Amino acid sequence: MEKIKQLQQDFATFMAETDFNGQPAELYEPISYTILQSGKRLRPMLCLLANEMFGGNTEEALWPALALETFHNFTLIHDDIMDQASLRRGKPTVYQKWNPNIAILSGDAMLAMAFQFALKAKNGTQVAQLLGKVAREVCEGQQLDLNYETQKTVGIDDYLEMIRLKTAVLLATALQMGATVAGANDIDIQHLYDFGIAMGMSFQLQDDILDLYSDVEVFGKRHGGDIADNKKTYLYLKALELASEKDRKRLEYLFSLRMDHDEEEKIEEVKALYDRLNVKEMVEKVIGEYEQIAIKHLDAINLPKERKIHISTYAELLSGRKK
Amino acid sequence: MEKIKQLQQDFATFMAETDFNGQPAELYEPISYTILQSGKRLRPMLCLLANEMFGGNTEEALWPALALETFHNFTLIHDDIMDQASLRRGKPTVYQKWNPNIAILSGDAMLAMAFQFALKAKNGTQVAQLLGKVAREVCEGQQLDLNYETQKTVGIDDYLEMIRLKTAVLLATALQMGATVAGANDIDIQHLYDFGIAMGMSFQLQDDILDLYSDVEVFGKRHGGDIADNKKTYLYLKALELASEKDRKRLEYLFSLRMDHDEEEKIEEVKALYDRLNVKEMVEKVIGEYEQIAIKHLDAINLPKERKIHISTYAELLSGRKK
């Protein structure tokens, strides 16, 4: 835990020393507004922990960590335009606070900045190549997400591929960057990457559950937001698969309703249906399977067990199993 | 001329061999739709000509050239959203043909691709660093352009700084990349860069004139489009500066009118005012000054005169002085 806190501190210090300002102010203010909001710094932490695991020098992993955080925040700014989201982490989105054009443009500048930061790393070319690859994948995932909004039938495999691209690959790449900077070998890096994918999948599925079943106070979002927004999550898709003809029709009908409908009532009805079909337990089973895959890949990395403690502790912290 | 045609052919072949496709199709179709439309390939040509001038190997400059063209096309896709432009090169814009979200996202993927292409160059890190720098500058220029739309007073210097960032730096960087890949020294590269800036400024000012004074058939755009769109070009700003109190008020009034006004009448009235104030001649004088600066920097490059022939021929072709 000490090590985790220390790396969090190292990154916070590095961020505080970074100058995100520039001219014209209209372009740069939204950038510092977004990136300087407190967040978990999940991707930088995975990068620093992976680097630490392979005995790397933390200082050399700070640029890639910053590139990852900058890239992630760019995706938030552009996603919020596409989703017409008005709030993010409890504050107005850039799109809302300024306007869509400024959100497009400051996001673009931020994506360019992410590459500039990546290129400052010791293995700059490699780190920037990894960023280029993952940037393409995240765009592909977001496009699939947009497609699924209007697409009538979405398979569970389609959904898993979407969350792999939209969420898991960036976590896996964060680990990969850290290990690359530390000079790890290709086989170990591949295991770490696969660990990251499996961990990312389990986190996202956990998020789908928490959206509906968590304590609102703890999770900090409105309850059942995914249902209100007609999001085709794993829970929904599994329920569709298992439901009787009558329930399926009802569920599809409920997920065709727009905001103006009574939200609370809709969420309660869908939740009751999910509960009747036991879909929560089924998603938890799938999460358990991804966790097993993650553990298998972490075990396969050719390092003494004690070197892997911080990463597995951090993953447990994030999954909520460890407080 | 033979050399110019040959490099154009080399780049066309390279583009034809590049695969711009991918999945999901919704993300990649707008990319190939945009980049495979015929264009002047101005930025790639400047890169290849600069590389050729310093005795570089054309093959090694093809990746930077492609990175530049990809980057330029990304800016077109995003600019068209911001300007709500429905046509580009006579065809529907991505924003219009698909939708704004797809235009945002395929533009993002294209920006990432541009970095991927830059990183494939021999001096990949350096080329990608130059791309990162110029990407930031182009965003800054576009932000200034957006600011000026609503800003009441815009100085002529502000306008020049905007077109420097929005247009000239990318042309200068194209030359710089080509020279860098060819291994030119820093002093020569700086002169070439400054040549590119001056050339870019003169091109943009020439464009401002052509928008109003060219033969429509040749220029291929509607006449006086800048006036119809209330664009604060050099012509307008210079006219404001020189106009009597009464003319200035009238000009400001005309530039506050929206589309629904009689366009033709407005353009004619503004043009008559410009003519009365001789602003066209004044812009031409400034263009001449930039051309002199460009020639001075090209002359200062430490190479025999015959090596500079292709670049100066190409610049003359573009400026319309040579057919």
Q: CA angle, corner A222, sides to A70 and A250, nearest 5?
A: 115
| CA end-to-end distance (rounded Å), chain B | 11
The reply to whether A116 touches chain B by the CB within 8 Å rule is yes
ipTM attached to this prediction: 0.95
- Segment B29-52 shows an average pLDDT of 95
Q: Given pLDDT bands bounded at 50, 70 and 90, which one contains residue A216?
A: low
Domain map (residue ranges) of chain B: 1-135, 185-323
Task: Annotate A208-230 with b (16+ C-beta within 10 A) or e (fewer).
Answer: bbebbebeeeeeeeebbebbbbe
The yes-or-no verdict on residue A322 having pLDDT over 80 is no
The reply to whether A140 touches chain B by the CB within 8 Å rule is yes
Q: Determine, for residues A104 and B104 on separate chains, whether the beta-carbon distance falls below 8 Å.
A: yes
Q: Given pLDDT bands bounded at 50, 70 and 90, which one contains residue A39?
A: confident
Give the closest-approach CA distance of B136 to chain A in angstroms. Answer: 5
Q: Determine, for residues A147 and B113 on separate chains, whether the beta-carbon distance falls below 8 Å.
A: no
Amino acid at A274: Y
- Segment A38-58 shows an average pLDDT of 96
* CB atoms inside a 10 Å sphere around CB A314: 22
How many angstroms separate the CA atoms of B70 and B13, rounded?
Answer: 15
Of the candidates A22, A23, A78, the beta carbon closest to that of B108 is on: A78
- Segment B194-223 shows an average pLDDT of 84
Amino acid at B110: M
Q: Determine, for residues B129 and A112 on separate chains, whether the beta-carbon distance falls below 8 Å.
A: no
The yes-or-no verdict on residue A75 having pLDDT over 60 is yes
Give the closest-approach CA distance of B236 to chain A in angstroms. Answer: 23
More confident residue, A264 or A50: A50
Of the candidates B24, B108, B144, the beta carbon closest to that of A111 is on: B108
Give the closest-approach CA distance of B172 to chain A in angstroms. Answer: 18
Q: Determine, for residues A132 and B115 on separate chains, whether the beta-carbon distance falls below 8 Å.
A: yes
**Can you give the pLDDT at residue B91?**
93
Q: Let me know if A56 is exposed, middle or buried by CB neighbors in 10 A (0-12, 13-18, 19+).
A: buried
Q: HEC string of B181-222? A: HCCCCHHHHHHHHHHHHHHHHHHHHHHHHHHHHCCHHHHCCC
Give the closest-approach CA distance of B94 to chain A in angstroms. Answer: 15
Q: What tokens does B76 get?
A: 């077109």
Nearest residue in A to B138, CA atom: A109
The reply to whether B25 touches chain A by the CB within 8 Å rule is no
Of the candidates B119, B132, B139, the beta carbon closest to that of A105 is on: B139
**Can you give the pLDDT at residue B235?**
96
Of the candidates A27, A144, A146, the beta carbon closest to that of B139 is on: A27
- Contact between B78 and A105 under an 8 Å Cβ cutoff? The reply is yes
Q: Determine, for residues B27 and A104 on separate chains, whether the beta-carbon distance falls below 8 Å.
A: no
Cα separation values, A48 from A54, A55, A72, A274, Å:
10, 11, 16, 39
Give the closest-approach CA distance of B64 to chain A in angstroms. Answer: 15
Q: Report residue B285 CA to chain centroid gap.
A: 21
Quick one: B1-135 is in which CATH superfamily?
Farnesyl Diphosphate Synthase (1.10.600.10)
Nearest residue in B to A135, CA atom: B112
For residue range B132-153, what is the model confidence (pLDDT) as tens digits?
999 999 999 999 999 999 888 8
The reply to whether B136 touches chain A by the CB within 8 Å rule is yes
The yes-or-no verdict on residue A259 having pLDDT over 80 is no
Of the candidates A108, A116, A136, the beta carbon closest to that of B78 is on: A108
The reply to whether A104 touches chain B by the CB within 8 Å rule is yes
Fold of B185-323: Farnesyl Diphosphate Synthase (1.10.600)
For residue range B84-124, what is the model confidence (pLDDT) as tens digits?
999 988 899 999 999 999 999 999 999 999 999 999 998 99
How many angstroms separate the CA atoms of A197 and A137, rounded?
Answer: 13
Q: Determine, for residues B146 and A23 on separate chains, whether the beta-carbon distance falls below 8 Å.
A: no
Chain A residue numbers with beta carbons less than 8 Å from the beta carbon of B122 are none
For residue range A98-132, what is the model confidence (pLDDT) as tens digits?
999 999 999 999 999 999 999 999 899 999 999 99
Chain A residue numbers with beta carbons less than 8 Å from the beta carbon of B23 are 140
Q: Determine, for residues B24 and A147 on separate chains, whether the beta-carbon distance falls below 8 Å.
A: yes
**Can you give the pLDDT at residue B214?**
80
Is A1-132 a CATH 2.40.50.180 domain? no
Q: Determine, for residues B132 and A115 on separate chains, whether the beta-carbon distance falls below 8 Å.
A: yes
The yes-or-no verdict on residue A218 having pLDDT over 70 is no
**Can you give the pLDDT at residue A321?**
60
Nearest residue in B to A22, CA atom: B140
The yes-or-no verdict on residue B218 having pLDDT over 70 is no
Q: What tokens does A266 get?
A: 């809709």
Cα separation values, B213 from B207, B208, B227, B271, B284, Å:
10, 9, 12, 9, 12
**Can you give the pLDDT at residue A318?**
86
Q: Are strands A87-88 and B91-92 parallel, antiparallel or unpaired?
A: unpaired
* CB atoms inside a 10 Å sphere around CB A34: 27
Fold equal for A1-132 and A185-323: yes
Of the candidates A23, A101, A139, the beta carbon closest to that of B146 is on: A101
Q: Determine, for residues A146 and B111 on separate chains, whether the beta-carbon distance falls below 8 Å.
A: no
Closest alpha carbon to A131 in A78, A76, A77, A66: A66
How many angstroms separate the CA atoms of B10 and B16, rounded?
Answer: 10
Nearest residue in A to B124, CA atom: A125
Q: What tokens does B270 get?
A: 């503004």
Chain B residue numbers with beta carbons less than 8 Å from the beta carbon of A82 are 101, 104-105
Of the candidates A22, A26, A136, the beta carbon closest to that of B113 is on: A136
Of the candidates A78, A108, A147, the beta carbon closest to that of B139 is on: A108
The reply to whether B156 touches chain A by the CB within 8 Å rule is no
The reply to whether B309 touches chain A by the CB within 8 Å rule is no
For residue range A160-185, what is the model confidence (pLDDT) as tens digits?
999 999 999 999 999 999 999 999 99
Chain B residue numbers with beta carbons less than 8 Å from the beta carbon of A95 are none
**Window 32-91 of B, Cβ < 8 Å to A:** 78, 81-82
Q: Determine, for residues A146 and B105 on separate chains, whether the beta-carbon distance falls below 8 Å.
A: yes
The reply to whether A102 touches chain B by the CB within 8 Å rule is yes
The yes-or-no verdict on residue A217 having pLDDT over 60 is no
The yes-or-no verdict on residue A221 having pLDDT over 80 is no
